[in-house]
Amino acid sequence: MATQRFDAVVVGAGFAGLYMIHLLRGEGLSVKGLERAGGVGGTWYWNRYPGCRCDVESLDYSYQFSDPLQQEWVWTERYSAQPEILAYAEHVATRFELRPLIQFETRVTSAHYDEHTHRWTVATDKGDVFDTRFLIMATGCLSAANTPAFPGLRDFKGRTFHTGLWPQNGVDFTGRRVGIIGTGSSAIQSIPLIAAQAADLTVFQRTANFSVPARNRPSDPAAVARVKSNYPDYRRRARQQAAAFGPDNPRGLDSVLAATPAQRQRRFEEYWQLGGFMFLGAFGDLMLNEAANAYAADFVRSKIREMVKDPQTAELLSPKGIIGCKRLCADTHYYETYNRANVHLVDVSQHPVERFTTRGLVAGGVEYTFDDVVFATGFDAMTGSLLRMDIRGKNGVSLNEKWAAGPLTYLGLMIAGFPNLFTMTGPGSPSVLANMVTGVEQHAEYIHDVITWLRKENANAVEARIDAERDWVQTVNVRSQLTLYPRCNSWYLGANVPGKPRVFMPYIGFPDYTAKLDDVRAEHFAGFELQR
């Protein structure tokens, strides 16, 4: 196939890719979008499992770059379900005429930089070759599905599904014996619905996870009207929050350690009733101090004991450790589901899933037989989608080599040695620890600004300086050590993928990160270097 030449190639057509394409086209650049999926939407295209919905409220979890768009779109629920979020992404693609610029069902397999031409050569699984000046990876932090390499998996005669690669037309579990591996957010959302349909559901739990009730409900017209009456101001205030959402949410700023037992109980109960992530805002120090955190964890464990009738099952479902260290889950009747006669919990913390057989799987020496097995086993998060491509920068150095001991970036946006390559919500940016739609908009706008600067300066390429990158990685690391986040085996640390380096990947705190981006811009993009 003949090589096609563009100013910019954007890989991925989720929320990040769509907005990036829109902005670069607006600058008059020739842009090509490449997307593995058959349509737009990214996360919301792939994750069609029952119960899939956002856990950041929809009024926040949506674009803000266009006021007409945010005014006209109607979210029907507090936390909208996957079909509605996908319909929104499709609406955006139509409204801003983005589809003609995107080639679907096309996976990027490699991207190599040429130092002489300052351009990238991008190859795909369809045999295309693209020659581009700028290469923007909008490939997602949670888009590389992780299926553990269980021996014998291929021999299993039943159906298997991964929550992050769910069939387009859904799955009917009626009358079937189903096994599900994992108890993270995807499992916690899907288990109540699969249990209601299947003949029998067995959940294999390696680590119990903390979950709080989402208290999803239809959108409240008065609350929507209030936000929409001054949406830009609401968004501005949201960006000042640590996780870039919920500026009007109540927050306890005082210490749980100073409260009496009765005050603690009352406050936790009040925030439990509010639903969702607000629970961790009940006091100001829950994510800063292990003793403070233990009070919140105890409260949730007491709730689990109230909700789950069988004391042994309740005990197994009660997480040990720090609440919020692994990403908090928000559910609808998750714990109550274990009161159903057709739902069984198998603890695989000590006796792991060993292997698959033709009829099912073996754990702790016992064979469990199934018609269907669901892998709710998560993702090779933050780095997986990048490292699954063969990306090579200056001197042919591969990203896999560069990141062998963990990801290195400047601001989560660029990588020293890889000029003109941008990562959106990459490791080293708030990404998965903040409202991600806001994060992708921030990155799209920043990348747009860096490219505009380069063009104004008549430069050929821009690259992160190695010293700026080193300092930034250090900053991200030191910052995480001030919190409780690094103290558990979470995917934020890469702990869910065997052999992955243990490095805390996201930058904690959206407002400080924004301030840093603003400072860098004010100092003529300090830390970025132009090449002429």
How many CB atoms sit inside 10 A of residue 515's CB?
Answer: 11
Q: At what angle do helices 231-239 and 221-229 cross, to 10 degrees?
A: 90
Q: DSSP per residue over 179-195, as a string?
A: EEE--SHHHHHHHHHHH
CA gap 367, 361 in Å, rounded: 6
Using rule CB under 6 A, residue 321 touches ligand NAP: no
Strand, helix or coil for residue 444: helix
Interface with ligand NAP (CB under 6 A), residue from 48, 267, 327, 500: 327
DSSP label of 493: G
Interface with ligand NAP (CB under 6 A), residue from 206, 301, 443, 500: 206
Residue 61's binding partner, choosing from ligand FAD, ligand NAP, none, with beta-carbon cut-off 5 to 8 A by kind? ligand FAD
Interface with ligand NAP (CB under 6 A), residue from 58, 62, 64, 183: 183
Q: Does residue 58 contact residue 483 with C-beta atoms inside 8 Å?
A: no
Give the contacts of 249 (CB within 8 A, at least 6 positions apart).
274, 278, 281
Using rule CB under 6 A, residue 376 touches ligand NAP: yes
Using rule CB under 6 A, residue 328 touches ligand NAP: no
Residue 345's binding partner, choosing from ligand FAD, ligand NAP, none, with beta-carbon cut-off 5 to 8 A by kind? none
Which residue, among 476, 60, 486, has the nearest Cα to 243 in the 3D structure?
60
What are residue 151's phi and psi, to 5 degrees?
Answer: -60, 145
Residue 330's binding partner, choosing from ligand NAP, ligand FAD, none, with beta-carbon cut-off 5 to 8 A by kind? ligand NAP
What are residue 375's phi and psi, to 5 degrees?
Answer: -95, 105
Which 439-468 residues touch ligand NAP, going by CB under 6 A? none
Residue 184's binding partner, choosing from ligand FAD, ligand NAP, none, with beta-carbon cut-off 5 to 8 A by kind? ligand NAP
Strand, helix or coil for residue 176: coil
How many CB atoms sit inside 10 A of residue 402's CB?
Answer: 17
Using rule CB under 6 A, residue 187 touches ligand NAP: yes
Q: Whole-number minimum distance, CB 517 to ligand NAP, in Å?
A: 23
Residues within the interface to ligand FAD (CB under 6 A): 11-17, 34-37, 42-43, 45, 47, 52, 54-56, 61, 107-108, 138-143, 164, 186, 385, 389, 424-425, 435-436, 440
Using rule CB under 6 A, residue 348 touches ligand NAP: yes
Nearer CB in complex with ligand FAD: 32/119: 32
Residue 132's binding partner, choosing from ligand NAP, ligand FAD, none, with beta-carbon cut-off 5 to 8 A by kind? none
Strand, helix or coil for residue 329: strand
Interface with ligand NAP (CB under 6 A), residue from 156, 210, 491, 507: 491
Q: Whole-number minimum distance, CB 385 to ligand FAD, in Å?
A: 4
Give the H/E segment covering residue 479.
helix 466-481
Q: Is 518 exposed, middle or buried (0-12, 13-18, 19+ CB in 10 A)?
A: exposed
CA gap 167, 425 in Å, rounded: 27
Q: Does residue 152 contact residue 365 with C-beta atoms inside 8 Å?
A: no
Nearer CB in complex with ligand FAD: 39/158: 39
Q: Whole-number minimum distance, CB 376 to ligand NAP, in Å?
A: 5
Residues 379-398, one symbol each (x = binds ligand NAP by CB under 6 A, - = not), give: x-------------------
Q: Whole-number minimum distance, CB 362 to ligand NAP, in Å?
A: 12
Structure-token pair, residue 196: 């209601």
Q: Does residue 422 contact residue 440 with C-beta atoms inside 8 Å?
A: no
Nearer CB in complex with ligand NAP: 106/490: 490
CA gap 420, 119 in Å, rounded: 8
Using rule CB under 6 A, residue 186 touches ligand NAP: yes
268, 288, 370, 374, 417 from 299: Cα distances, Å = 7, 17, 36, 31, 49
Which position has the token pair 């908009």? 441
Residue 139's binding partner, choosing from ligand NAP, ligand FAD, none, with beta-carbon cut-off 5 to 8 A by kind? ligand FAD
The count of residues interacting with ligand NAP (CB under 6 A) is: 28
Residue 17's binding partner, choosing from ligand NAP, ligand FAD, none, with beta-carbon cut-off 5 to 8 A by kind? ligand FAD
Residue 348's binding partner, choosing from ligand NAP, ligand FAD, none, with beta-carbon cut-off 5 to 8 A by kind? ligand NAP
The strand pair at 119-124 and 211-213 is best described as unpaired
Which 113-172 residues touch ligand NAP, going by CB under 6 A? 142, 148, 163
Q: Whole-number minimum distance, CB 85 to ligand FAD, in Å?
A: 8
Using CB under 6 A, list all residues that contact ligand NAP: 54-55, 142, 148, 163, 181-187, 189, 204, 206-207, 327, 330, 348, 352-353, 376-379, 432, 491, 496
